[in-house]
Structure 1
Amino acid sequence: MTDKSTINKETAERAKKSLDKEAMYGGHVDLKQYHIPDESLEVKKMTDLDSMIKSSLTNVGISADGDAGGNFLMFNNKVSHRSSSEDGLEIMSVKEAKEKYDWLEEYWWKLVSPETDKYTAESYLEDSDGYFIRVLPGVKITSPVQSCLMIGSDAALQTVHNIIIVEEGAELEVVTGCLTHDDVNRALHIGVSEMYVKKNAKLTFSMIHDWSESVEVRPRTGVRVEEGGQLTNNYVCMKPAKSIQTNPSTYLEGEGAAAYFNTIAVAHPGSVLDMGSKVYLNAPNTKTEIISRTITIGGEVISRGDIIGNAPQVYGHLECNGLVLNEHGSQKAIPALEAHAMDVEMTHEASIGRIARDQVEYLMTRGLDENEATGLIVRGFLSAGIEGIPEILKEDIDEIIKKTADAS
């Protein structure tokens, strides 16, 4: 590795010692089996993208027609496009932002440590680029910001470092789509994201995955929410992937801060999805709800959830719901609650099973055949995970329903 301008030499030395450090959760991935690709793509406007890429973007809820509040596109490891259409909204690469703002040092690799595991170490030592999205104080962005992280080369290692800052009293919605080009058979994605939600600010962040069947995915995320701030995080993965391991950590540091996590995911045959969320309730009157709805149609699902109450008068609820729709699939729920203060209220519930026969029979008495009844139950189970689910995701649910019916 060569020293680069945004790398601190002392931190780099410590990161190098972590290149063999396995993650706490998730299967082993050999970094040496992948390479940093040279291929890049640069477009002045999202509408200039070719029809194949535009079609792929719609699968992750991204539109190239220019109606978004802002756009960011990263192809492999290089930024392809960034633009903002609203006042008070800044969108650029994190490297550009580091050169522009000296104060960004206070946010740079502060919520995710380069020494966490070999994936964060690799991202740090590669001096990864990514998006910098900032909303100025009091500004409410009216249209969602779209960001797309696309892998376009086979056997590629994509390393990304993102920073979002929603300043005091501001509001922002971000839709991030992660996907592979049609020519990609296998790849490894490492995405490091740091999000800061300031006093009385609001951030809604939705992540939608559409990888190919042999892609390994290792997101590493940290979030800090200040007094009165609110984070809503939606995570959607209904297409095949070889493995995903994600467990973002959120720190509610100001009184009245809140964080809501919603996950819907489907494990296809051969997939291993190890997903969770960890929330630290570090100030009085903070609140969190972690809800996951997962289905296996032949793959493995591990649903984790941790709520740590470190202050009085906090509330936390954790809910893991799983359906097993194929005899070769497996589900595991691992909820955990910790209390380090008096006067806390924290609850959890977990359920794993198959579709109840009495529900199917009831719907059949209402005029549906068995496949239609099963499909209606699956659709309701997944759709309930995220309010206002986009049309493209409804189409994905219909695909899952068809596969369920075909397997029965």
Structure 2
Amino acid sequence: MASNDKELLEKFIPASEVEGIKSVEELEEEEIKKLKETGFQPDESGRIGSFIQTNCSVAHCDCSVPGVELLPVTDALKKYDWLEDYWWKLVSKDKDIFTEETDQHLDNGYFIRAKAGEKVVYPLQTCLYIRSDNVAQRVHNIIIAEEGSELHVITGCATHPHLTSGLHIGISEFFVKKGAKLIFTMIHNWGENVYVRPRTGVEVEEGGLFMSNYISLKGVKSIQTYPVATLKGKGAVARFNSVVVAPQDSLLDIGSKVILEAPETKAEIISRTVSNGGTVIARGHLVGKAKGAKAHLECQGMILADNGIIHAIPELEAHLDDVDMSHEAAVGKIAQEEIEYLMARGLSEEEAVATIVRGFLDVKIEGLPPELEEELQRAVSECQHGM
């Protein structure tokens, strides 16, 4: 595997060698359309600020709320000496060849800090965009939700509409302090031959909440992601929701892990996966290490094509008897009678299948603000096209 990863890195041009745009105004109309499909609003309607990076260049970085700080991560490292205490704390720089590559050849990324007590209603948006063909983009992101703050982030990752191949490596470290709340919604909209390698670590302190919503419904060659959240303080909560479609000849190795280290912590991992001819490995791992910990894991998969593969790997790991953990998993295909029922009511076979799939992917997420719920439902609706 290591040799294949090395070959993958060597296949692409470093983003630092390819110039990006200097301003959002340089984006073409078809690019703006694709970015909107990831939840990114160029006019910042319904947003408190924006960060957009193309290749290795930051094209825009601005936030209108004084209590929320947004900077390119390289600027933040220069501004704050204390940021070194957070840098590579939750993800090891030696984890694999991709973390090592990002440590040695950083193409920027974003730094977001919600100051103590700051509660924002509207989301902050970020976009990591590969605009040139055969480019490897290597970013490192830091988000800190300080004590008692509330922050919502929508991040859209995409490639140029005519781009055929690329590599995105994204290191993310999220810190949720005491009583803070961080909702992070990621929408992927890559190209058919794009490889994606996120590496994410999360730390939640006492009474804190971290919610992750991950959506990948369009063409991509390979995704390998496995965020790990550690619940460090009493009553901390982590929820991971993922909605994923694997197109023909793709390999999506996705999942998440939550370590419940403190008393009365809670965790939930919910995934909906669809194989349209690709392979999905859906992982979930809950580790109960403290009294009163409660956790649930749910993986539901649907296969639409005969050559599709879904491999569900749910894991429960209890280190003492005073924990409550459960899991359920199911994989199958659409029942023919369901299709015939809808066709009898005037839908074509294609429309019937699309309707069933959309209903399957329509995950209602408890506690999601209306603005983010609208973005999620819009993204799922997009899935009907080409299904």
TM over 0.5: yes
Deviations 1:110-134 (A, max 9, x none): 0000110000000001134110000
Contact 2:22–2:58 under 8 Å retained in 1: no
- Contact between 1:152 and 1:184, CA under 8 Å: does it hold in 2? yes
**Match of 2:316, as an amino acid?**
L
Q: Give the distance between the partners of 2:332 and 2:6, measured in 1 at CA.
A: 28
Shift of 1:358: 4.2
Which sections of structure 1, spanning at least 5 residues, go unmatched? 1-19, 404-408
**Could you tell me which of 46, 65, 68 is aligned with 1:89?**
68
1:291 is displaced (CA, Å) by 0.5
Task: Write the mapping of 1:9-408 to structure 2, written as runs, cut at 5 A.
Answer: 21=2, 30-37=8-15, 38-43=17-22, 46=24, 49-67=27-45, 68-363=47-342, 370-384=349-363, 386=365, 388-390=373-375, 392-400=378-386, 403=387
CA contact (8 A) 2:20 2:56 kept: no
| Aligned counterparts of 1:160 and 1:81: Cα–Cα separation in 2 | 16
Q: Distance in 2 between matches of 1:276 and 1:253?
A: 21
Report the alpha carbon displacement of residue 79 of structure 1 after superposing the two structures with TM: 1.9
- What letter matches 2:383 in structure 1? I
Counterpart CA distance in 2 for 1:363 and 1:241 is 30
Identity of aligned residues (%): 47
- How far the C-alpha of 1:368 sits from its partner, in A, is 5.2
Equivalent-residue separation in structure 2 for 1:266 and 1:30 (angstroms): 23
Q: Per-residue deviation at 1:395?
A: 3.7
Q: Distance in 1 between matches of 2:217 and 2:2?
A: 30
Report the CA distance shift for 1:320/1:28 in structure 2 as closer, same or farther (over 3 A). Answer: farther
Deviation at 1:322, TM superposition (A): 0.3
Gaps of 5+ in 2: none
TM-score of the aligned structures, taking structure 1 as reference length: 0.88
In 1, the alpha carbon distance for the partners of 2:349 and 2:34 equals 33
Query: Structure 2: which amino acid aligns with 1:314?
Result: A
Deviation at 1:328, TM superposition (A): 1.2
Normalising by structure 2, what TM-score?
A: 0.92
> Cα gap change, 1:298/1:29 in structure 2, threshold over 3 Å: closer, same or farther?
farther
- Shift in Å at residue 184 of structure 1? 2.0
Residue identity matched to 2:35: L
Q: Secondary structure at the match of 1:224?
A: strand
- Distance change in 2, residues 1:22/1:320 (3 Å): farther
Task: Specify the code of the residue in structure 2 equivalent to 1:60.
Answer: T
Per-residue deviation, 1:53:
2.6
Shift in Å, 1:364: 5.5
Q: State the 1:206 CA deviation.
A: 0.7
* Contact 2:217–2:380, Cα closer than 8 Å, also in 1: no
Number of residue pairs matched?
Answer: 378
